[in-house]
Chains A and B, each alone.
Chain A
């Protein structure tokens, strides 16, 4: 099993739609979780951290399920500007982050 797995997509959704991404991780000792966003030919940037109780930032909601070892990201009311690749990131216990390969989202007018 790969350390961090994501559906590569692409997810093509119309403006205003709700879209959800899932990510699974293999290291049950993982302590911290993040979603990064990467625009085409740009660097990754932190979108949000993922807390055990779940957290929300505007239209974005992140959830963590430790028992099943998966993380989710929900985007409501999709905007054209949300088009990007979303990277699931897991902190494995050392000072290292393991990145998933990303899920590509295209929001269509």
Chain B
């Protein structure tokens, strides 16, 4: 079975450019989570969706970040404009029935903003 799919796996961009990260959750999962991981701050929850509806975006660092889930099989995280401090690994995870249950992580997108 396919796990969580993320693209691109690596992204290098220049400050000020728009970045779009993509995620396909495991089929049938009703929760989707976006995380950011850095050495300094560890793994931080940015936003999560339930049945395609954003539930809590309090972790989104600022207005430059936005996330959408137009359908059950696709989500995007957009950064516009990007800044060097956004450099991190961004993970998407999905679960069935919420975070009381196992979250399955995608391989991550390693973002470098120059």
Query: Contact residues of A with B, CB < 8 Å?
Result: 31-32, 42-46, 87, 91, 94-102
Contacts and interface: CB of A to CB of B under 8 A. Distances in A.
Contacts of A31: 100
Interface of B: 31, 41-45, 48, 50, 55-56, 91, 98-100, 102-103, 105-108
B100 A87 contact: no
B45 A97 contact: yes
Which one of B56, B99, B106, B107 has the highest number of Cβ atoms from chain A below 10 Å of its Cβ? B99
Nearest to A99: B43
A29 B31 CA distance: 22
B31 A95 contact: yes
A102 B43 CA distance: 9
Given A95-B31, A95-B50, A97-B99, A43 B56 contact: no
Contacts of B48: 95-96
A106 to B, nearest CB: 17
Q: Which 8 A-B pairs have the closest CB atoms?
A: A101-B42, A43-B105, A99-B43, A46-B102, A95-B98, A97-B99, A95-B99, A44-B105
Which one of A32, A87, A95 has the highest number of Cβ atoms from chain B below 10 Å of its Cβ? A95
Contacts of A42: 107
A100 B42 contact: yes
Contact of A46 (B45, B55, B103, B108): B103
